[in-house]
A and B are shown apart, each in its own frame.
Chain A
Amino acid sequence: MSVDINLLPQKSRSKLSQEQLLTYSKIGAVISSIVTVTFAVVIFLLNRDPSLAQIQAQEQTILSQLTILHNKTAKNLIILDRVKRIEKIVQTRKTLDKDITSIQKQLPENADVTTFSLDGQHLIMTISAQSLFPLGNFVESMTKDITTKTLIKKVTIEGIISDEKTGNFLLSINADLL
């Protein structure tokens, strides 16, 4: 004998489900109305925020004040431009005066510079002395300079000449600077 017989009529069961559905739909309608109205009111109030207009008004005021001061602004911008360029020049310009000082320090007292040419990369010079000792000292000093990497990278002795008329010895060197 079957025990799974539903004695309730089908129509009654369907009616109950429809009533529930109606209740849910009414609740849904109320909730959606409340949510929509709430959102609408909140957004309306938020969009009425007057701060943007105030900020824009302030901006206009300051811009008009700045326009009056454009003269000063332009001067400042020109100074900035000049300073930037000046710094670049000052940083990159050659230091021939310091190079000459450095070379002069190495020059023995009893030797004279006969010819001298310096361009920041090459040094060509001729020194004269009455004996070979000062010239030797100068060459030694130059060699030391290469070791310490102060100024000179490479030195070539072009020649040593003995001038019989003056009794002087002449030393010609060609050096590459660092």
Chain B
Amino acid sequence: MNNSKVNTKVTLDEMVLKSLYYRYKDFTVPISVIVVCILLFLFLIIPQIQSFLAMKDSISGDSQKLSTLQQNLKIISSFDDNELNNYLDISTRALPAEKDFAGVLQAISSSAAGAGTILGDYSFQIGDITADTKSKTTQLPLQLSITIKGDLTTARRFIEELKNQLPLSDVTSVSVNSNGTIAVTAIFYYAPLPKISFDDSIPLLTISTKEKEMLKLLDNPSNPDSITNVQASTPTPTPFSSITVTPTVVVSLTPTIAASPSGRISQ
């Protein structure tokens, strides 16, 4: 037992190494080649394969982006500048970026004229003028109380006429009194222009035919097929200095209104 334990002890001296070398000399080259190949595979080929796959992904993504860019370019190039200006004009008249008092007065005076009535007193409820309207995203109301003369039919006609006027309004209440006066409360909407960031890699949306029809109808309720070219007098301020937005703000009150109302702007 003690002898066997002594024999297990290995001593690596020069003779042993030489004998091992001579015994396995022929294996040196093939084993070295295999090891080098494995190392090359691990540290060169596999990273290159990963790089190739990443490049493929990149090509795929870039091709998609290129396709989107081409599509966007095609869409934008197809825009008719006049048509675009007209739609911009109608949409900003329908929903101004700021409180458009002149537009509101014109709308109510036209509605009164259309309903065949005389406009009495009117008052605006402007609201908090210190509020930061630029940061608000929803459309904001501008409430207006109007008094006109007439009966229930006149009130109905006035509401119908006001519905067809721009800026857009919503009559919230109507009261017909026994003394022949009608009190109408209407809300006129406005909304700040959106913050626009240009990201050309996002597919560009355009207004649909239905939306175009709606804008045409808003511009000309009696003949929606025609879009009137509105002459601009005061440009609406836009966040883009290069854009010329040309809404119509023609302050021309009818003689009836100019003569009778004692309008007041109350806060």
The residues of A with any CB-CB pair to B shorter than 8 Å are: 21-22, 25-26, 28-29, 32-33, 35-36, 39-40, 43-44, 46-47, 49, 51-52, 55-56, 58-59, 62-63, 65-66, 69-83, 85-90, 92-94, 96-97, 100-101, 104, 113-120
Contacts and interface: CB of A to CB of B under 8 A. Distances in A.
Contact of A120 (B66, B85, B172): B172
A103 to B, nearest CB: 8
A73 B198 contact: yes
Contacts of B95: 82, 85-86, 89
26 contacts: A22-B27, A25-B31, A29-B33, A40-B40, A43-B49, A44-B48, A69-B77, A70-B198, A70-B242, A73-B204, A76-B79, A76-B206, A78-B194, A82-B92, A82-B191, A86-B95, A89-B189, A94-B172, A96-B173, A100-B174, A104-B153, A116-B174, A117-B173, A117-B175, A119-B172, A120-B173
B152 A52 contact: no
A162 B237 CA distance: 60
A126 to B, nearest CB: 8
Interface residues of B, number: 80
A56 B62 contact: yes
B211 A87 contact: yes
Interface of B: 26-27, 29-31, 33-34, 37-38, 40-41, 44-45, 48-49, 51-52, 55, 58-59, 62-63, 65-66, 69-70, 72-73, 76-77, 79, 81, 84-85, 87-88, 91-92, 94-95, 139, 151-153, 155-156, 159-160, 163, 168-178, 189, 191, 193-194, 196, 198, 200, 204-207, 211, 214-215, 218, 238, 240, 242-243, 245
Contact of A79 (B73, B76, B91, B172): B91
A43 B62 contact: no
B66 A62 contact: yes
A152 B171 CA distance: 19
Given A89-B139, A104-B156, A72 B84 contact: yes
A118 B196 CA distance: 41
B41 to A, nearest CB: 6
A74 B45 contact: no
B170 to A, nearest CB: 4
Contacts of A117: 173-176
Contact of B168 (A33, A90, A113): A90
Nearest to B91: A82
A82 B45 CA distance: 56
A104 B191 CA distance: 36
Nearest to B92: A82
B30 A29 contact: yes
B76 A66 contact: yes
A158 B107 CA distance: 37
A59 B156 contact: no
Contacts of A46: 52
Shortest Cβ-Cβ A-B pairs, 5 listed: A82-B91, A29-B30, A32-B37, A119-B173, A29-B33
B178 A85 contact: no
Nearest to A25: B30
A48 B173 CA distance: 73
A81 B194 contact: yes
Contact of A69 (B70, B76, B160, B171): B76
A135 B64 CA distance: 71
A117 B63 CA distance: 63
Contacts of B91: 78-79, 82-83, 86
B73 A71 contact: no
A81 B92 CA distance: 10
Contacts of A73: 76, 198, 200, 204
A84 B118 CA distance: 35
Contacts of A63: 69, 200
